[in-house]
Amino acid sequence: MAAQVVTITSGKGGVGKTTAAANIGVALASSGQRVVCIDADIGLRNLDVVMGLENRIVYDLVDIVEGRCKLRQAMIKDKRLPDLHLIPAAQTRDKTAVSPKDMQRLADEIRPDFDWVVIDSPAGIERGFRNAVAPADLVLIVTNPEVSAVRDADRIIGLVEAEEKGPPKLVINRVKPEMVRRGDMLSTEDVLEVLAIELIGVVPEDDQVLVSSNQGLPAALDPKSRAGRAFRDIARRLNGEQVPFEDLSARDGFLGRISRLVRPGGSA
């Protein structure tokens, strides 16, 4: 079966694209599927750092595109997960070193031998974004529950629609249930009301994510991490499983759940 190409993008920087790409890649690979992650952020690579593979880089994306190495030579195999591979970005070049056509050719070369290609897009709406989206079968938009991130996500959705990539799906990252409850943070519903696309994941804010990014151990590898579990749920939804969304505001145990069940006007 040919691989599906999933591009992870956001418009705004710093919302957690790279973290999402690493964790979704890890989660897919840990369920036994063959995965290639591609860092399309040429000039500012960091997917390798988050995945803990930085010290094994020999060749990069630009080397493949410019014919200095074979595809397989540039693929770094993750020792923890034998089905996970990374094609790192070049550090010394800029986004113009690769064209959307190059990315399509690269994806086509990878497709026959893998199940998933996960592309980490750079921030912005220029060349790097178009490179990352060009080969995509599915685009995931990562946003945070804050107005400026949602605004940029909306802009990106418009651009993805214009590329006729089909409707993108949404990952809301860094949700703080406590703040949502107080009304200080946009809720999932608020975000969906504006963006009106299908939700594929809600990831709670989790200090462990920062710690694990620094250590190069994606949170999806940690069975105790809440964010890690949310990323694993995204991977399962990508595989077509129906996974209910975890109620992040579940703070109050049995009574709280009962009161939500009997509340009039609920989702029933």
Partner 1 sequence: MAAPLPIKGVREGLLIAVPSGEWDDVRASLLATIDERGDFFRGARLALQMDDRELGAADLGELRDALASRDTSLYAVLSTSTVTKTAAANLALQTELTRPERSRVAEEDAEEGSLEEEVPADPALFLDRTLRSGQVVRHPGHVIVLGDVNPGAEIVAGGNVIVWGHLRGTVHAGAGGDETASVCALDLAPTQLRIAGRIAVSPKRRGAVRPEMALLREGQLIAQPWDDERRHG
151 binds partner 1 (CB under 8 A): yes
CB of 169 to partner 1, least distance (A): 16
CB of 201 to partner 1, least distance (A): 21
User: 47-63 in b/e burial notation, b at 16+ Cβ within 10 A?
Assistant: bbbbbbbbeebebbbbb
168: left (phi over 0), alpha (psi -120 to 50) or beta: beta
- Is the torsion defined by CA of 132, 134, 137, 141 positive or negative? positive
Q: How far apart are CA 133 and CA 120, in angstroms?
A: 10
152 binds partner 1 (CB under 8 A): yes
CA-closest candidate to residue 122, choices 98, 146, 151:
98
Burial class (CB in 10 A: 0-12, 13-18, 19+), 125: middle
Name the segment binding partner 1 (CB under 8 A); options: 76-84, 110-118, 144-152, 170-178. 144-152
Name the segment binding partner 1 (CB under 8 A); options: 101-109, 113-121, 146-154, 255-263. 146-154
CB of 191 to partner 1, least distance (A): 12
Of positions 14, 158, 167, 256, contacts partner 1 by CB under 8 A: 158
- List the structure tokens of 144: 């945070």
Whether the CB-CB separation of 115 and 28 falls below 8 Å is answered with yes
Nearer Cβ to partner 1, position 96 or 148? 148
**65: helix, strand or coil:** helix
155 binds partner 1 (CB under 8 A): yes
CB of 167 to partner 1, least distance (A): 11
**268: helix, strand or coil:** coil
CB of 6 to partner 1, least distance (A): 21
Total residues contacting partner 1 (rule CB under 8 A)? 12
Whether the CB-CB separation of 63 and 32 falls below 8 Å is answered with no
154 binds partner 1 (CB under 8 A): yes
Q: Quote the DSSP letter at residue 252.
A: S
Q: x/- site string to partner 1, residues 175 to 214, per CB under 8 A?
A: ------------------xx-x------------------
Q: Which residues in 70-99 contact partner 1 (CB under 8 A)?
A: none
Of positions 37, 47, 157, 234, contacts partner 1 by CB under 8 A: 157
Nearer Cβ to partner 1, position 196 or 258? 196
Name the segment binding partner 1 (CB under 8 A); options: 109-117, 157-165, 179-187, 200-208. 157-165
What does the angle CA 248 – CA 17 – CA 53 come to, to the nearest 5 degrees? 110
Applying CB under 8 A, the residues found at the interface with partner 1 are: 147, 151-152, 154-155, 157-159, 161, 193-194, 196
